[in-house]
Structure 1
Amino acid sequence: MVCFRLSPVPGSGLVLLCLVLGAVSSYALELNVTDSEKATCLYAKWQMNFTIRYETTSKTYKTVTISNFSTATYNGSICGDGQNNPKIAVQFGSGFSWTVNFTKEASSTYSIDGISFSYNISDNTTFPDAKDKGILTVHDAVGFRIPLNNIFRCNSLSTLEKNGVVQSYWDVHVQAFVQNGTVSTKEFLCEKDKTITTVVPITPTTAPPPTTTPTPKEKPEVGSYSVNNSNGTCLLATMGLQLNFTHDKVVSVININPNTTDFTGSCQPQTALLRLNCSNIKYLDFVFAVKNENRFYLKEVNVSMYLVNGSVFSIANNNLSYWDAPLGSSYMCNKEQTVSVSGAFQINTFDLRVQPFNVMEGKYSTAQECSLDDDTILIPIIVGAGLSGLIIVIVIAYVIGRRKSYAGYQTL
């Protein structure tokens, strides 16, 4: 737990702000704001990232994803008093800030009044060759009402999109106007958490069969993707992707076309992100993590797609365990493999090879093959089957020979 002592707040003395960073996900945040009597008045725990599309001086467009908040400061986060409303304020990177304002609606409800995100497009490191300069801000008037003495929970992925900026939030738990210094155990759920098609986190990694069988689709084309940072290439991925999802009891299959797919991402010491997007897919995120300090695995998949009826299909699961391999190596699986994200969404991969950490000179390291590709076990099986078949043939021949011998004796 890292604590920051902020400047005095009118009517409430000094405020103590504590932040806990998740052990695995670099953008898991938890804060507890207390008043002058050290009683909790505002609590929040959430995960988020930001995807920004901007125009370059050459009149092309680039996309960047902001997901590293390890250098964040939290000046301006307050409990609120008679003159000021509660507020969460986060500053990070070079000129980035994020603010959430709360308003007490009546004696029985409060609301998440609005969310603002500001970014410094003059930062050439984050936005190379950007046409515009200065601080740009997007504001969304959320106006979401919550009963007092309830903690708002939304594990499902929620997005806000405006002016080329997509704000993504999940695993959200927040309560303003905390009463008697105790965070409530009574939850007020967002609509997505009330439905059965979008639930996060999902503990089982195996999914029940869909309600209908999708039409078989041809094998997808294999694409090559990479993520770069200041040290060069930090993530490599080669794979053919086929998305299977169920919406309103209708099963659909989509092949990812790498020729029309954009990709971005980020690399951190403990996590790495690969994000794909195209015309009908807002984003498809693969989040990798380090475990036990010596292995990596696919921990999380987030997806949001535009459907033909104009609606948006979104699923997120941060409790996966696929593609496990030692650090310093790559993971490879040439055979078709299924990643079960939820009962409503699965990904089939073909000719897969990934290395999200310790990439040297932009090349894959030695690969650890999946069990599907490991055909060494077939050799003893084949040999054993052959020997068994030979023994059976010998026994049958012996029995037939004995019967013929008995028949000859009877004739004589």
Structure 2
Amino acid sequence: MVCFRLSPAPGSGLVLLCLVLGAVSSYALEVNVTDSEKATCLYAKWQMNFTIQYNTTSKNFKTATISDFSTATYNGSVCGNDQNNPKIVVQFGSGFSWIVNFTKKESAYLIDSISFSYNLSDNATFPDAKEKGILTVHDLVGFRIPLNNIFRCNSLSTLEKNGVVQYYWDVHVQAFVQNGTVSTKEFLCEKDKTSTTVVPTISTTTPSPTTTPTPKEKPEVGSYSVNNSNGTCLLATMGLQLNITHNKVASVININPNTTDFTGSCQPQTALLRLNSSNIKYLDFVFAVKNENRFYLKEVNVSMYLVNGSVFSIANNNLSYWDAPLGSSYMCNKEQTVSVSGAFQINTFDLRVQPFNVMEGKYSTAQECSLDDDTILIPIIVGAGLSGLIIVIVIAYLIGRRKSYAGYQTL
């Protein structure tokens, strides 16, 4: 446990902030803010990451992902008093910060607002950024929670504004903690209320990994979509089968669309479809525009819980799959494999995607993959037949010439 002493807050005495970091790979944050008498007044545990779309000097759009909070500091987090509301303040990277404010109203407290600031001058995070300086997105949340209740939301929640998508999951938070003791009474978010599984475990329909992957039946096909202010902006229909190798143990997992949540975002040059379930923290499909007239699958990111409790995470932003013209969809009914890494592949079945230019919520004309194109067999068969005929003619001609020469005698 790492503790930070903060400057005295007006009317509240010295504030002590203690932080416990979970597994570095998943960057679970846990904050316990105490008052001058070392009594807990604000508690939170959560996981988060961010995707930010920005314009480059070459007038293209890029997407940056921020998920490393290992260097975070927490100066400015306070319990709150009659003059100041409670808040959690997190600083990380170079000029990045995240602030959540709480307010109290009668018998409830509110997660009032969330502010996220990012620094476009950080060339490591935003290479070739056209704009420079620190930008801030401010979201009014206004989520109401009864006093002396801890709010819990294991399911994925998102905030999207001005090209910034904020992702939160495994959230536990209580402001205005009474008598210094975090409540055991939970107030659930709506997504957790409808979920039958509230802890990250492998679904009962998924077999445990073994040294030899168990042959799996064809996965069920799911339909996914992403909406923005203009309506549906991304469509995807596919059956998904995950092939994972971790610590020399291979497993095959079929994604069940009936127990899978989905969200995402659409930008002019990129589009994101994110899936999550009880055991999958996130499975991201990131699409991009190339040459101003085609789209393709550029990036896949995954983070999920394995049966042994460890977190399996893989990311690859240099893919080139599912290529099709803008204004059309990509379709491949046959089984197709997306190789993300040596340890992670995705088999797709009955695939159809359109991440850009969706009109009236419907797919446009599809470009089929080569695996589906049976028409190529016709020219192959015709060509093979013509080649065989030519060979027969040549052989017959050679035999005829030999017989003709055999009929002449030397005088």
Identity over the aligned pairs, expressed in percent? 92
Deviations 1:66-89 (A, max 9, x none): 011111110110000000000000
| Worse-matched range after superposition: 348-357 or 3-12 | 348-357
Structure 1: gaps of 5 or more residues: none
Specify whether residues 164 and 324 from structure 1 end up closer, same or farther in structure 2 by C-alpha distance, changes over 3 A only.
closer
Aligned length: 411
Post-superposition shift, 1:202?
3.1
Post-superposition shift, 1:25?
3.2
| Worse-matched range after superposition: 356-365 or 274-283 | 356-365
| Worse-matched range after superposition: 320-329 or 20-29 | 320-329
Give TM-score, length-normalised by structure 1: 0.55
- Corresponding residue number in structure 2 for 1:100: 100
Retained in 1: the 8 A contact 2:226–2:273? Answer: yes
Retained in 2: the 8 A contact 1:98–1:115? Answer: yes
| Worse-matched range after superposition: 306-315 or 401-410 | 401-410
Retained in 1: the 8 A contact 2:206–2:253? Answer: no
Secondary structure in structure 2 of the residue aligned to 1:411: coil
| Worse-matched range after superposition: 328-337 or 141-150 | 328-337
Hey, what's the Cα distance between the residues in 2 that align with 1:49 and 1:214?
32
Retained in 2: the 8 A contact 1:199–1:316? Answer: no
Specify whether residues 224 and 186 from structure 1 end up closer, same or farther in structure 2 by C-alpha distance, changes over 3 A only.
closer
Moved over 4 A (4+): 197-200, 207-283, 286-412
Post-superposition shift, 1:285?
3.8
Post-superposition shift, 1:289?
27
Specify whether residues 10 and 323 from structure 1 end up closer, same or farther in structure 2 by C-alpha distance, changes over 3 A only.
farther
Specify whether residues 132 and 216 from structure 1 end up closer, same or farther in structure 2 by C-alpha distance, changes over 3 A only.
farther
Post-superposition shift, 1:255?
13
| Worse-matched range after superposition: 301-310 or 47-56 | 301-310
Give TM-score, length-normalised by structure 2: 0.55
Post-superposition shift, 1:283?
7.3
Specify whether residues 204 and 363 from structure 1 end up closer, same or farther in structure 2 by C-alpha distance, changes over 3 A only.
same
Retained in 1: the 8 A contact 2:46–2:170? Answer: yes
Secondary structure in structure 1 of the residue aligned to 2:14: coil
Deviations 1:258-314 (A, max 9, x none): 999999999999999998999999973499999999999999998899999999999
| Worse-matched range after superposition: 373-382 or 29-38 | 373-382
Retained in 2: the 8 A contact 1:201–1:317? Answer: no
Retained in 1: the 8 A contact 2:120–2:129? Answer: yes
| Worse-matched range after superposition: 51-60 or 335-344 | 335-344
Post-superposition shift, 1:23?
2.5
RMSD: 15.7
Deviations 1:240-269 (A, max 9, x none): 966999999999999999999999999999
Retained in 2: the 8 A contact 1:205–1:321? Answer: no
Hey, what's the Cα distance between the residues in 1 that align with 2:109 and 2:314?
28
Post-superposition shift, 1:10?
1.1
Specify whether residues 36 and 319 from structure 1 end up closer, same or farther in structure 2 by C-alpha distance, changes over 3 A only.
farther
Specify whether residues 193 and 13 from structure 1 end up closer, same or farther in structure 2 by C-alpha distance, changes over 3 A only.
same
Structure 2: gaps of 5 or more residues: none
Specify whether residues 393 and 136 from structure 1 end up closer, same or farther in structure 2 by C-alpha distance, changes over 3 A only.
closer
Deviations 1:130-185 (A, max 9, x none): 01111100011000000000000000000001101010000000000000000000
Hey, what's the Cα distance between the residues in 1 that align with 2:10 and 2:18?
20
| Worse-matched range after superposition: 113-122 or 364-373 | 364-373
